[in-house]
Amino acid sequence: MSANLQFKPLSSGIKYDDQKPLIIAGPCSAESEEQLLNTARALKNLNVDVLRAGIWKPRTRPNSFEGHGIKALPWIQTVKKEVGLPFAVEIATPQHIEEALKHGVDILWIGARSTVNPFNVQEIADALRGVKVPVLIKNPINPELALWIGAIERIYNAGVEHIGAIHRGFSSFQKGKYRNEPLWQIPIELKTLFPDLPLICDPSHIAGKRSFIYDLSQKAMDLNYDGLMIESHLDPDNAWSDAAQQVTPVRLAEILSELKIRQATS
């Protein structure tokens, strides 16, 4: 498998202190402007580097909340103006990319259900030509390293300069401890092939349950991941999506302060 792609550190695409892991946090879904603002104000105090929220939600079954879509983009602009942190959203189509960039979204991510489909990824890649913002690529839902690499290559070949990978676990028919199997060996292999590729762990979608978030985050830190994406909601039990896995900002503060982070050498 070819491994001659040259990646830049995400710190050159997003301004943050790269001596510590990049922390991306926010609710699974943007539910209202007030929710986004109040969450962002709480997270701003925790040394969170980037806010996140889904506005186009790929739900497994129909008749679930599928996100507010473009209606939520002005909310994001308001939040950015007030708290001054960069904002990341999931995009899945060229239209999403156009709308998100028009409204000042700083970081785009490709979700696990898009990475799984090369036609979809290529369409996204074509729409990303010339785009300057960082693009994070979640692993495909199924445990196939080549598909993840293929998605990274498509986005890289489109000329996107700041690319990162997000490990969010892999679905399995067999019910295990976690909602998605971490299969740590797959991201380890990815990092071995592409040592410079920034790798972020999403313990929320691996866990499916908030009590596992700390241990999974610590494991990612022990493996020298470059960052974490953690879902945080002011009232997790009443979240409109992924209720069981979200943590309050108060709990997130505890998790972040208790994590043992390897100090960079050299």
CB of residue 57 to Mn ion, shortest distance in Å: 8
Residues that bind ligand PEP (rule: CB under 6 A) add up to a total of 10
Site for ligand PEP in 15-74 (CB under 6 A): 28, 54, 58
Q: Is 242 in the site for Mn ion (CB under 5 A)?
A: yes
Binding mask 191-210 for ligand PEP (x = CB under 6 A): --------------x-----
Shortest distance in whole angstroms from residue 2 CB to Mn ion: 32
3-state secondary structure of 181: strand
Tokens, residue 230: 């953690």
Give me the helices (H) in 160-261, please.
185-193, 203-207, 213-222, 249-258
Residue 168 touches which of ligand PEP, Mn ion, none (Cβ within 5-8 Å per kind): ligand PEP
Task: Indicate whether 168 belongs to the interface with ligand PEP (CB under 6 A).
Answer: yes
* Angstrom distance (rounded) from CA 148 to CA 164: 12
Contact range with ligand PEP by CB under 6 A, out of 110-118, 183-191, 210-218, 219-227: 110-118
Find, among 88, 184, 182, 103, the residue nearest to 136 by Cα: 88
Q: How far apart are CA 75 and CA 202, in angstroms?
A: 24
Q: Give the range of 7-15, 109-117, 119-127, 143-151 binding ligand PEP by CB under 6 A.
A: 109-117
Write the binding mask 11 to 30 for Mn ion: x where contact by CB under 5 A, - elsewhere.
Answer: -----------------x--
Tell me 56's DSSP state: S
What is the token pair recorded at 18? 């790269």
Query: Are 156 and 163 a contacting pair, CB within 8 Å?
Result: yes
- Residue among 170 and 194 whose Cβ is closer to ligand PEP: 170
Q: Does 112 bind ligand PEP (CB under 6 A)?
A: yes
> 24 vs 42, which CB is nearer to ligand PEP?
24
- 53-86 in b/e form (b: 16+ CB < 10 A) is bbbbbeeeeeeeeebbeeebbebbeebbeebebb
Residues at the interface with ligand PEP (CB under 6 A): 28, 54, 58, 90, 111-113, 138, 168, 205
